[in-house]
Amino acid sequence: MRLSSFFGQTLREVPAEADTVSHAMLLRAGYIRQLAAGLFSYLPPAWRSMRKIEQILREEMDAIGGQEMCMPVVHPAELWQQSGRWYEIGDPMARLKDRRGRDLVLAMTHEEVVASLCHTEIRSYRHLPQMVYHMQTKFRDEPRARGGLIRVREFVMKDSYSLDRDYAGLQAQYERHYDAYYRIGARCGVPLVAVQSDPGMMGGKMAHEFMYVSPIGEDALAICEETGYASNLEIAEFRKVPDDNGPPARLEKVYTPNTHTIEALAAFLGISMRQTGKMVFFVGDFGPETGEKLVVSVVRGDMEVNEVQLRYQSGARTLRSAEADEIAAAGAVPGYASPRGLDRSKTVIVVDDLVAASTNLVVGANEAGYHLRGANYGRDYEADLVAPIAAAYDGAPDPVAGAPMTLARGVEVGNIFQLGTRYSGSLGATFTDEKGAEHPIIMGSYGIGVGRMLACVAEEHSDKHGLDLPVSVAPWHVGLVSLARSGASKAKAEGLYQALLKAGVEVLYDDRAVSPGVKFADADLRGMPWRITISERSLKKGGVEFGRRRERPARIIALENVTEVATEAIAKAFKAIDRSLESLPTWATRKPHG
C-alpha cells in the first residue's frame, strides 16, 4: 500500500475525547474515527488488523470443531419474548418496528436464533454434538460508551454455540473453548486471565470471563497468585473468620451524636470498624405480584455490600439505591438505622453470614444520635435471610487456603457460558434419544469482541510515540520509508517495494513528498513491527536501514538481501508466538478453583 494514495490521516495532538492510551493511539494513528457516542468507523489499518484477529479466531474455532455460518442482525421479537429476555433486558436492548408494526430486536447476541435453528437442523441424538460460530455485528445501547473501542454500542463479536445431548458433552466443549481463548489471546499479543464470573443476562450454570488485567478495565477482579483463585468481584468468595468479641453482652443504648458514618462512629467510641454493623439500603423490584420493597443489607462496618450477591440472595430482579424518604417509610432513621424495629411488611432484611456469626457489634438504634452496643444476631434482631453478601476486599483471605487476594481491574475480552437448557427449553429446541424420548438440547455460548481485542492490543503494545503492534495483528508487517531524492535511488526504492510484495511481505510504503520528520513520526504512530529506510545516505553505506520499529541504531542490510532478511524476521516472530502457546494455561492444568 502506498501512502501517497492512502485513505486516512495521522493526528499530531491527543484528541480531547480520548480517555485511554489505546483510544488516543488508535485515533492518532488513523485507525478509527468516531461517528457518534459508541459508534466508530474502522479506517483501512484498523480494518486490516480486525480481519487478522478474525482469522485467528476462525483458525482456533475450526481447530476445536467449529463450523462458521452467519445469522441476521435483526431478529423478530417473538424469539426474545419466548426466551424471556425481551422482558428482562431494559434500555440496552434496541427495539424497533418494521413497516407492518412488527416488533424487532437489534441483535445483542444470538442464543435465541441458534435455538430456533435447532428446530430444523437437529432432530436426533445422531446430529449431536455440534458447534457453530459466526462473526457478526451486535448492538447494545450502552448508557456510557467509553475508552474508544473498550465500550461501544455497535461492535463485531465472534460468538460460538455448542450443542450437546448431555452435560458431559457441554463440559468437554466448554473446556476446549477455555483452552482456545488462552491461545487466541497469546496469538493476538494480549495476556489473558480466566476468572469465574456471573452468568448475568445469559443465564446458565457456569461462566468464565477472559480478562486483560489493566487499570483501564471496568471490571473489578479478585486474584490470588498463590492458589490460582481468580474471580470477578461480583461473585468472589473469601474466607470469613469472626472476631472474638467475647460472649454476648447486655444490649445497651449509647449516645453517639454526629456519627452518621461508620468511620465517625468508630472514632467516637474508640473501637474498630470491624466491631460495627453497617446497614445499606436498596429498593428491589420483585416482579408484578410483589412490586418494590426495601432491601435492607447488613454487613460488617469495614466491608462493602456485593450488590450482585444481594440481588441473587434477596430474589430481587433489580436493585437501586434507596432514597432517604423510602428508608424512613420503613421505620429506619438514616445515619442511625438499625435492623431492629423495621416494618417487616415493607422490607426484606439480608444479614451477611459474618455479621450473624459475630458477637457484640455496635449497630444503629433507629433514633437520631444513638446506637446500640452489644447487638447479637438471633437475640436482638433477626433477618429474612442470612447469606454471604459482603464484597471481597484487597488482602481478603481467598476461599481455598486463606492466602491474601489482590484486587485488580480488568477488561473483559471474552466470555464462556454453560447455558444448559436456558434457551433450548424455552424455545423448544429438542432432540430424540435412542429410545425416541425427547430432550432439550444442552447449549453453551462463547463470545469474544473483535474491536475490544484490538483496543487491548493497542493498550498493551504502545509507547509515547505510538503503536508497536505484534506481527500477528499489525495491518502491515513492514513500514518502508523512502527518503530517496534522485531518480536512481527512487527507482531502487520502488524496486525494493515490488520485491517485498512479490515475496509476500505486507508493506506500507511511504512514498510521499513530505519531510523525513513527518515520515518517521507517522511510522512511529502506525506501529508496523519493522521499518526499512532507504535513502542516498543508506545506499552509500551499503544498502538500507532495517530494524524493529524503534530499534536504534538500525542495521544496514545490502539491498539484494533485504527481502530475505525481512521474510526471515517475520517467520521468526511467528515461530516465537507458536512456541509461547506451549506454556499457556489449559483447563487440564488449571487449579480446580480457578
Q: Over the chain, what is the mean pLDDT?
A: 94
- Distance (Å, whole) CA 492 – CA 75: 56
Cα dist from 287 to 239, 281, 307, 422, whole Å = 33, 19, 18, 20
531-564 as b/e: b if 16+ CB within 10 A: bbbbbeebbeeebbbbbebeeeebeebebeebbe
* For range 422-442, the mean pLDDT: 95
* For range 425-443, the mean pLDDT: 96
Cα dist from 327 to 335, 352, 368, whole Å = 10, 20, 14
CB contact at 8 A, 297 and 387: no
Determine the distance from the C-alpha atom of residue 387 to the mean position of all C-alpha atoms in its chain, rounded to a whole number: 27
Q: How confident is the model at residue 511 (pLDDT cuts 50, 70, 90)?
A: very high
- Distance (Å, whole) CA 161 – CA 174: 10
What does the pLDDT read at residue 198? 79
Out of 3.40.50.300, 3.90.960.10, 3.40.50.2300, 3.20.19.10, which CATH number does the structure's domain 252-387 have?
Answer: 3.90.960.10
CB contact at 8 A, 429 and 119: yes
Q: What is the pLDDT of residues 236-254, one digit of tens each?
A: 999 998 888 899 999 999 9
CB contact at 8 A, 108 and 92: yes
Cα dist from 541 to 499, 534, 545, 553, whole Å = 21, 11, 9, 13
- For residue 63, is pLDDT > 80? yes
**For the chain, what is the radius of gyration of the CA atoms?**
29
What does the pLDDT read at residue 554? 84
- For residue 594, is pLDDT > 60? no
Q: How confident is the model at residue 201 (pLDDT cuts 50, 70, 90)?
A: low
* For range 205-209, the mean pLDDT: 87
What are the backbone angles phi and psi of residue 544, rounded to the nearest 5°? -130, 160
- Distance (Å, whole) CA 220 – CA 202: 20
The grid cell for 305 is 455490600
Interior angle at CA 39, CA 33 and CA 45, nearest 5: 40
Look at residue 430 and give its three-state secondary structure. Answer: strand
In terms of C-beta density within 10 A (0-12 exposed, 13-18 middle, 19 or more buried), how is residue 394 classed? Answer: exposed
Of 590 and 508, the structure prediction assigns the larger pLDDT to 508
- Distance (Å, whole) CA 451 – CA 158: 10
Domain 46-235+407-452 has CATH 3.40.50.720: no
- Indicate the class that CATH gives domain 476-580: alpha beta
The secondary structure element, H or E, covering residue 163 is: strand 154-164
- How many helices and strands, by DSSP H and E, does the chain display? 16, 31
CB contact at 8 A, 309 and 392: no
The secondary structure element, H or E, covering residue 308 is: helix 307-314
Q: What is the pLDDT of residues 313-366, one digit of tens each?
A: 999 989 999 999 999 999 999 889 999 989 999 999 999 999 999 999 999 999
- Distance (Å, whole) CA 412 – CA 150: 9
567-585 as b/e: b if 16+ CB within 10 A: eebbeebeeebeeeeeeeb
- Distance (Å, whole) CA 516 – CA 445: 50
DSSP 56-75: HHHHHHHHTT-EE----SEE
The grid cell for 130 is 455440534
- Give residue for cell 449497630: 363
- Give residue for cell 498493551: 460
Which of 527, 522, 409, 519 lies closest to 458 in space, CA to CA? Answer: 527
What does the pLDDT read at residue 593? 59
- For residue 462, is pLDDT > 60? yes
158-191 as b/e: b if 16+ CB within 10 A: bbbbbbbbeeebbbebbbbbbbbbbbbbbbbbbe
Q: In what order do the strands lie in the sheet with 103-106?
A: 74-76, 103-106, 95-97
Of 88 and 576, the structure prediction assigns the larger pLDDT to 576
Q: How confident is the model at residue 185 (pLDDT cuts 50, 70, 90)?
A: very high
Q: What is the pLDDT of residues 91-102, one digit of tens each?
A: 999 999 999 999
* For range 501-520, the mean pLDDT: 96
Which of 173, 106, 187 lies closest to 416 in space, CA to CA? Answer: 173
- Distance (Å, whole) CA 108 – CA 130: 22
Whole-structure pTM value: 0.90
CATH 3.40.50.800-classified regions of the chain: 476-580
Which of 529, 480, 454, 472 lies closest to 27 in space, CA to CA? Answer: 454
CATH 3.30.930.10-classified regions of the chain: 46-235+407-452
